[in-house]
Structure 1
Amino acid sequence: MKNTVLPARSSGQQHEEGAVALVPPPAAEEKQVDEEDRALLKDGAVPVASRPLAGRRLSSLGTVLRTSGVGSVMIGLVLLALLLGARRWVGLDALSMLGNTAGIGAAQRRRHHSNSMAPPLPIPFTCGNNTSPQPRKCPGTPALPPSTDQLLPPPAGGPAPSCPDYFRYIHDDLRPWRGAGITREAVERARPHAFFRLVVVGGRAYVETYRRAYQIRDLFTQWGILQLMRRYPGRVPDLDIMFACDDPGQVRAADFATPSEAPPVFRYCKDGRTLDIVFPDWSFWGWPEVGIRPWTQILEEVRQENERLRWPERQPYAFWKGSPAIYRIRHDLVACNASNGQEWNARIFTQDWRHAIRNEFKDSRIPKQCTYRYKVYVEGNAWSVSEKYILACDSPVLFITTPFQDILSRGLVAGKHYWPINREHVCKSIKFAVDWGNKHPAQAQLIGEQGSRFVREEMSMDYVYDYMLHLLTEYAKLLRYKPTVPEKAVEICTESVACPSRGLHRDCLMDSMERHVAGFDPCTLPPPFTAEEAKEIADREAKVLRKIEKMEDELAS
């Protein structure tokens, strides 16, 4: 494959992905408890917010709250974030869980499709004469299409279906500004965090760049918003957002006695202590530097590989491949390889970046990593883009608990979509999970299939775009001023981004381009979580995690 590896656009950003070969940062080195089972499985899968407490003893919740150091309003905010926001839903009991799972994504909902007999409305696109040295100009604002009321017959089931429950975290992310709103001054205070500022005025997008992001994070994030505007023309409101393209959240809740004083910063992930606004990451539209195609295409390639090599035929171990770099938790994972006569049921591989680049990542292709019965997910500098690719393999994901959350992880149910691994004793936890899965192959296989089904259905591009639309719409409602185009901003559009591109970079853009107006309404945004739901989530988490710890401890004794 030619032009697979493009030069990095920044030397300062550190990032790499487990089980997904990424261009390394410059500094990175290449390098049988049946009774307990039944007791645990009694309760079925129950939604529980686990991430803020990941890898800690349950008593740490009180310590976290007691040391917050903010006023009563802030304490309430942080409490809700800790109970909900880190949120993963846990109910790790595979036997009864498999029969009747509850929680996020369990309800049947009408899929995105048009019942209209009218042909889909195409969106014009042309690069014209590419030999001109002048930057590509954006075409005029197209006429808005007929409303979906005119395009579609009345749906038999009533209004558009409800969005998956992880959309409810949109309300949670925007809660700090829900009362006072967002002023221009608050947005300006976000500038030190931002890599770029994106403004939408009258259906046209403008960007002011402050600093270059690692590789194509900034450009492909902007591209995703442009495709949203093509997919749902006229629905993206006037906006003014500051976007940070680095990894961990930076806007600490404890730094602001009044939540609305915090600068609103869009970012790919956060944790329970930060107030960043979570947005889909750039790789949904592809990652040309590492040969990763857009999400829809990757899903199809992985599906074909899953059909080729069924789960029972895969190697009965846990697999991870990536760079340990400077991350302690990844070094803990590397130690789980068999050594000194100790078998941890793990096969952990360190990515050789130079070889991967020379080999055009042929040995690291995502579909070819679905050859083990179990896949391991581990954080890096923060959340890892590899998460969605690992889940797609039909293999149970052994998810090392983490404080970081992105839009995908907020929708996962432990015991249904993945098996949680205690970060305080990674190797022991992995060995227990693999032994349990090999002893209960039907249940383990179903966990893998349900995790894969979640990313295919609940995290399809239809829902990614709907999440973006609802988040930006709810954000725009909070603006207390009319957005205007910054003096140094330049207009961007599909043509201005795609036409100058070349090689795999251009392939990813063209493959992920929206070519037709959506002939359906977006899903309906569900309401925010209530305080009662937050408490229920936390209570159930405590119960389930105690059971998991007991199972592992009793096996070791």
Structure 2
Amino acid sequence: MMNSFWLRPAYQKHSRGTKWLKLNKTLTITTRVLLFLFFFALLLVSVLIFGGWINLGNYSAGKFFDRTPILPPPEFPLDCVAWDHNKTCPNNYPIKYEPTNHHPSSTCPDYFRWIHEDLKHWKGTGVTRDMVERARESAHFRLVILHGKVYVEKFVESIPNRESFTMWGILQLLRLYPGRLPDLELMFDNDDRPVIASKDYRGPNAAAPPLFRYCSDQWNLDIVFPDWTFWGWPETNIKPWRSILKDIKEGNNKTKWRDRVPYAYWRGNPDVASWRGDLMTCNVTDKDDWNTHLYVQNWEEEVRTGFKQSNIADQCTHRYKIYIEGYGWSVSEKYIFACDSPVLLMTPPRFHDFFIRGMVPQRHYWPVKDNDKCRSLKFAVEYGNNHTEKAEEIGAAGSHFIHEDMKMEYVYDYIFHLLNEYGKLLKFKPTIPPNAIEFCAESVACPAEEIWRKSMEESLEKSPRNMLPCTLPPSYDLDELKALNDEKFMLTKQVEKWENEYWKNNLTKNQ
């Protein structure tokens, strides 16, 4: 009877026992899937551990349950009392510091790859003592870093603010990354134009003297270094880079790009180079309107009136900004690019600083013909005002490059990698020259004039950085370098084609 009862269709349809059997079967399948996923995950983690992608030390029980807060590095302000007392550098700042975060902050921006290109000439030969000594002919000073300390031997007088603030910047780098740079020795030239002609150092005569400076060009081997104004230029009321970027960002927010004056703006000294004098002929007159507002910068008047017309943060008022070189490259370049307005850049540029080679025409700036400035500027503004979306994108991309890829942390990391890669090339052991003097933050800032000291105190790195520098990207191979240069060339030629068509159509209309 029981067998008959269990076999009834009605009972099988509604029986709990039948449902349990089905559930049990489902659970068995689910368990198998879960077990499979568990063992697959275990295998994957094992592979990652053995491959070095996971460090078990970071997940130990002690660290997992440790709730002790990570304390910031100690601060070391300027000790001018000690300096004034015995005129020797204090020994309280650490010569070496191990950050608690052992991972790089990020991968460095792409323009860092030009470090490899700037040092490429010495990759095969290395840098010998004789090469460094021959650079003395053009250098203003020799800089030696030995066991984390800085020594400077001066040769000839140079523009004081350039020399002092360049040394100040290097000292801040060592305060930021104490003990991370190798011992090294280099020559530095504070003047504007490069002097180590590449044509003189080919074949058997390839032993070129390595010389650092603020700009170079395609015909010279001078090694490019960030300019002194990143730590301030107090004589012209320019703050250190971190502060001025903040001020420019606030200035950008005052007027939206589309509400700005629909003209191209430039302010500067036209007397330093003939091409700047040519630029002034493009100003608005009763007869011609080249879509430009150009102003002569009278520094004596600005000093007298408190820099009312030259405050960089107040110059983001026009839709377009013009960049034109001076006697050499111009420190104004980075400030001009920071305004969210498309930069109309005179092409081809004669010189390059450390970052401009990372910028691309039509992406970060708009190329303007240097040999036909007025017509080229007029077309650029006309094109931008008729293609506002593209113009606004170019201005935003150029400004983003400056504010993000060139923030002060990256400027320091650029110098770090440049000096580190250079130091690897030395074939001799650096020594302290007999006439060299030890430099430290106190020896530069404490005896400085009040306006200089204010900038130095504002740009002082008070603590070591609690992480490693960004990771230096690899050098370009020949194909990558050719592709990059071809892209810049083609994008510039495309603008020239549009410009030629514009003026051809205008000429036809007026006939």
Q: Using structure 1 for the length normalisation, give the TM-score.
A: 0.75
Alignment of 1:406-555 (within 5 A): 406-555=353-502
Partners of 1:144 and 1:340 in 2: CA distance: 64
Q: Deviations over 1:510-550 (max 9, x none)?
A: 00000121111111111111111122223333432332221
Aligned to 1:362: 308
Matched, 1:226 2:171: yes
Pick one of 257, 265, 289 that aligns with 1:319. 265
CA 1:468–1:326: 2 relative to 1, 3 Å? closer
Instruction: Quote how far apart the aligned CAs of 1:325 are.
Output: 0.8
Structure with greater Cα Rg: 2
The alpha-carbon distance between structure 1 residues 279 and 203, as it changes in their structure 2 partners (threshold 3 A), is same
Query: Whole-Å Cα distance in 1 between the matches of residues 133 and 193 of structure 2?
Result: 20
Instruction: Let me know the Cα RMSD of the aligned residues.
Output: 1.8
Shift of 1:471: 0.6
Q: Distance in 2 between matches of 1:378 and 1:324?
A: 10
- Per the TM alignment, residue 498 of structure 1 is displaced from its structure 2 partner at its CA by 1.3
**Match runs of 1:337-376 below 5 Å:** 337-339=283-285, 341-376=287-322
Q: Matched residue pairs, number?
A: 435
Instruction: Output the CA distance in 2 between the equivalents of 1:266 and 1:432.
Output: 38
> For residue 214 of structure 2, what is the aligned residue in structure 1?
268
Shift of 1:501: 2.0
Q: Please tell me whether residue 397 in structure 1 is matched to residue 318 in structure 2.
A: no
What SS does the corresponding residue of 1:413 show, helix, strand or coil?
coil
Distance 1:119 1:133, change over 3 A: closer
Secondary structure of 2:119 counterpart: helix
Instruction: Give the aligned partner of residue 8 of structure 2.
Output: none
Alignment pair present for 1:140 and 2:91 = yes
Which residue number in structure 2 is paired with residue 50 of structure 1? Answer: none
Alignment partners' CA distance in 1, 2:254 and 2:493: 39
Partner amino acid, structure 2, of 1:204: K
Task: Choose which of 319, 324, 328 in structure 2 pairs with 1:382.
Answer: 328
* Residues 228 and 465 in structure 1, CA contact (< 8 A), matched pair in contact too: yes
Following TM superposition, by how much is the alpha carbon of 1:409 offset from its aligned partner in structure 2, in angstroms? Answer: 0.7
What displacement does 1:132 show? 4.4
What aligned pairs does 1:137-286 form with structure 2 within 5 A after superposition? 137-140=88-91, 142-144=93-95, 147-148=98-99, 151-152=100-101, 160-258=105-203, 260-286=206-232
- The list of structure 1 runs, each at least 4 consecutive aligned residues, that deviate by more than 6 angstroms after superposition, is none
The aligned counterpart of 2:234 is 288
The 8 Å contact of residues 83 and 90 in structure 2, kept in 1 or not, is answered as no
CA distance in 2, matches of 1:277, 1:343: 41
Alignment partners' CA distance in 2, 1:517 and 1:131: 21
Partner AA of 1:407 in structure 2: F
Residue-by-residue CA offset, 1:222-257 (whole Å, 9 max, x unaligned)? 110000000001012111010000011110001112
How far apart are the structure 1 equivalents of 2:81 and 2:494?
A: 65
Aligned counterparts of 2:92 and 2:114: Cα–Cα separation in 1 = 32
More displaced, 433-442 or 379-388?
A: 433-442
One-letter code of the match for 1:273? W
1:336 aligns with 2:260: no
Task: Please tell me whether the aligned partners of residues 141 and 204 of structure 1 are also in contact (alpha carbons under 8 angstroms).
Answer: no
TM superposition shift of 1:416: 1.6
**Alpha-carbon distance, 1:167 to partner:** 0.7
Match of 1:13 in 2: none
Q: How many angstroms apart in 1 are the aligned matches of 2:450 and 2:290? A: 43
Aligned partners of 1:396 and 1:417 also within 8 Å? yes
Task: Name the structure, 1 or 2, with higher relative contact order (CA <8 Å, separation 6+).
Answer: 1
2:50 corresponds to: none
Q: Would the aligned equivalents of 2:96 and 2:180 in 1 still touch at CA under 8 Å?
A: no
Q: Are residue 303 (structure 1) and residue 254 (structure 2) matched?
A: no
**What's the offset of the Cα at 1:372?**
1.0
Query: Once the two structures are superposed, what CA deviation does each residue of 1:417-465 show, in whole Å capped at 9, x if it has no partner?
Result: 1111111111111111111111122221221111111111100111111
> 1:133: how far off?
7.7
Q: Is the 8 A contact 1:215 1:289 kept in 2?
A: no
Flag the 1:453–1:542 CA change in 2: closer, same or farther, 3 A. closer
In structure 1, give the amino acid aligned to 2:476: F
**What is the CA-CA distance between 1:554 and the residue it aligns to?**
1.1
496-505 vs 329-338, which moves further: 496-505
Note if contact 1:200-1:239 (Cα within 8 Å) is conserved in structure 2: yes
Equivalent in the alignment of 1:120: 72
Greater per-residue helix proportion:
2
| 1:21-55 CA distance string (max 9 Å, x none) | xxxxxxxxxxxxxxxxxxxxxxxxxxxxxxxxxxx
1:398–1:240 Cα change, 3 Å? same
**Distance change (3 Å), C-alpha of 1:545 and 1:396:** closer
